[in-house]
Amino acid sequence: MPENKLQKYFGFNTFKSGQKEVIAKILDGESAKILMISVERFKNERFRYHLQNMRISLMVIDEAHCISEWGHNFRPEYLKLPLYRKEFKIPQTLLLTATAPPAVIDDMCGKFDILRSNVVITGFYRKNLFLKITPTAQADKQNVLLKRVQRAADAPTIVYVTLQKTAETVAAFLCKNNINAHAYHAGMQSREREDIQNRFMDGSLACIVATIAFGMGIDKRDIRRIIHYDLPKSIENYSQEIGRSGRDGDPALCEVLANKDGVNVLENFIYGDTPARKSIYQLLQKIKQNDGFVWEIKLTGLSNEINIRFLPLRTCLVYLSMEGIIRPKMTYFDEYSFKFHIGPEKIINQFAKERKQFVKIIFDHCRTKKIWTTVDMDAILNACSADRQRIISALEYFNEKGWIELQTRQAVEVFDIMTQAFDIDGVTEKVHTLFKQKESHGIGRIHDMIDLFESRSCISRNLAEYFGEHLEKTHCGHCSFCKNESIVLKTTSRLKPLSHLDFNELTGKFIQAAGENADETNLSKFLCGIYTPVFLKFKVKAMPGFGALEQYPFQQVKKWIRTKQKV
């Protein structure tokens, strides 16, 4: 699309210079051949406008296992990709993944109408990785880890843990013992995480103690050790994480300091993502009772209101979209603010005639407090005949020019309501059943992983076969089984019987604060340390009972609560 047409359509050059050039090159069909985007980009109305005018011959999906609800890293936005392919008439699809077992491959093929004969498995087995499973009591883990790392203190190492607080504790222990280590987790500021990652990549930091937040996109070829301090979440997670070691072809150690103490914690993460029937029903009620057929929501606010965690809420909305109840329309930001790098008069004087007047109206209807200026979108719309898109385009243009620094907050998701004539009870039950199936499958993956670690045959061979690769040899020679190491995982921490605990002492403050929200499920999540949105207003993290039973099985805690509530 020529520059003058871009200006005519948007009123301003809406794309930052790099984006604008990329779109122009794609549209001319000659200058650019590959366009890389995030899945979420398909919801962007401006991008969809351009996509209609592009001649796309091939859709390539990286990390394609994310499309499967039975995969280890399901992302609800991926479920819409087959529909986008049809909508934009893209004739061919290439799915790429390194961690898809046969059932997930079948799911991927089914969703994209790909023949199973067109699946190519290039091979998962790597002969330079020593897969070691070390049964370790929980109380001994820190010392076992320290001895392992001290053997080659400068060797690039990633230690994986489950919880953020464990990352901090273990990293501090290693540093205290003169190991050049640092924690890494999603609770840190992005700049701090980036600095830690850069230091690890350039070799100035030897050891990272990380949750699974670390590693995606990392291509450091000389990682010599991947040590799982806690159990991985699944075989897929394990394979993805050990796959970051030894990419230079030299030997690398992949060790799990294993016991069954952490199984309940892993399972509890999964239980926390299953919304209650009541919450799903409330979501459907909102759609039924919406005035009109355009539904605007702020996901964070909705998540808190109906008590469904953020990712499961997104999954729920995709399910409803696939049921034909709603259809994603667009996403916009409810709040725009900026700070001036040059004075408003100088910006206004960059333009002439109608455009100058338009820019003046924008600034006349903004409110400045000290440094930041807030945009009053409604006031601007009432003062001129322009639409919202032109105002946003102008702000983006000023930002691109360096005249202002623009910030956005409060994303609003907009859906078309396709029908309100649905059976609310039937749809509630159907969606809840889908989540329960996902829950059961997730629990099963944890136990499949333990079976792999305790297997009475070659671990490398079993791992390869899990991903559909069949090795001719029965012994790899570089795993714990092939080295004749005994692998029996035990529960090493002794937990008090629940019957010996004081129910009122653990739950009294929560029940008093939560009132009608202190039902069986929320009480179980409170005691197991599973954070759920409704807890925000009760400040549960300051209560002594929160997470007191995080090492106990969720279902066992739930059963115990049921008996106590009957008394």
Q: Tens digit of pLDDT for each residue in 244-293? A: 999 999 999 999 999 999 899 889 889 989 999 999 999 999 999 999 99
Residue 46: the pLDDT is 61
Asked if 46 and 428 count as a contact pair (C-beta separation under 8 A), the reply is no
Residue 156 and residue 562: Cα distance in Å, rounded? Answer: 49
In the predicted structure, residue 6 carries a pLDDT above the cut 80: no
- Using the predicted structure, report yes or no on whether residue 356 has a pLDDT greater than 90: yes
DSSP string, 526-555: HHHT---GGGGGGTGGGSTTTTTTTTS-HH
For 24, phi and psi rounded to 5 degrees?
-60, -40
Reported for 1-9, long-range contacts at CB under 8 A and 24+ positions apart, including other chains, are 1/27, 1/50, 1/53
Position 90, amino acid: I
Whether pLDDT at 214 is above 80: no
Q: What confidence tens digit (pLDDT) does each residue in 162-192 have? A: 889 999 999 999 999 999 999 999 888 888 9
DSSP 479: B
- Tell me if 94 sits within 8 A of 118, measured CB to CB: no
Cβ neighbours of 145 (radius 10 Å): 25
Nearest-angstrom CA–CA distance, 401 and 347: 10
DSSP 183-207: EE-TTS-HHHHHHHHHHHHHTS--E
Instruction: For residue 540, give every residue at least 6 positions away whose Cβ sits within 8 Å of its Cβ, in sequence order, or none.
Output: 510, 513, 526, 531, 546
Q: Residue 553 pLDDT > 80, yes or no?
A: yes
Under the banding of pLDDT at 50, 70 and 90, the label for residue 21 is: low
Identity at 105, one-letter amino acid code: I
Q: What is the pLDDT of residue 294?
A: 94
User: How confident is the model over 107-127, as a mean pLDDT?
Assistant: 89
Average pLDDT, whole number, for the chain? Answer: 88
Look at residue 73 in the predicted model and tell me its pLDDT. Answer: 76
DSSP 78: G
pLDDT > 70 fraction of the chain, expressed in percent and rounded: 93
Domain ranges of the chain: 3-118, 129-267+442-466, 332-415, 498-566
Is the pLDDT confidence value at 17 over 50? no
What is the torsional sign of CA 288, 292, 293, 297? Answer: negative
The total of other beta-carbon atoms located within 10 Å of residue 539's CB is 10
Q: Is the pLDDT of residue 498 over 80?
A: yes
Q: CA 268 → CA 12, 70, 278, 358, 443, distances in Å?
A: 50, 18, 20, 55, 9
- Cβ pair 72, 93 in contact under 8 A: no
SS3 content of the chain, % helix, strand, coil (to 5): 50, 15, 35
We find that the CATH architecture of domain 3-118 is 3-Layer(aba) Sandwich (3.40)
Strand partners, 210: 160, 184
Which helix (H) or strand (E) covers residue 127, if one does?
Answer: none
Cβ neighbours, 10 Å, residue 511: 18
Q: Which helix (H) or strand (E) holds 65?
A: none
Q: Name the band, by pLDDT with cuts 50, 70 and 90, for residue 486.
A: confident
311-347 pLDDT per residue, tens:
899 999 989 988 999 988 877 778 889 999 999 999 9
Determine the straight-line distance between the first and last CA of the chain, rounded to whole angstroms: 72
Condensed to tens digits (0 to 9), the pLDDT of residues 502-514 reads 999 999 999 999 9
**Topology alike, domains 3-118 and 129-267+442-466:** yes
Rounded to an integer, what distance in angstroms lies between the CA atom of residue 540 and that of residue 187? Answer: 18
pLDDT of residue 567: 58
CATH number for the region 129-267+442-466 comes to 3.40.50.300
CA dihedral 36, 42, 48, 52 (to 10 degrees): 70
Please report the pLDDT score of residue 1 as a whole number: 34
Residues in CB range of 161: below 8 A, 6 or more apart = 167, 170, 209, 210, 211, 229, 230
Least confident among 107-111, 207-211, 405-409: 405-409
**What does residue 132 show for φ and ψ, rounded to 5 degrees?**
-115, 130
Angle between helices 235-242 and 424-453 (to 10 degrees): 60
Q: Is 44 left (phi over 0), alpha (psi -120 to 50) or beta?
A: beta
The mean pLDDT value for 418-446 works out to: 94
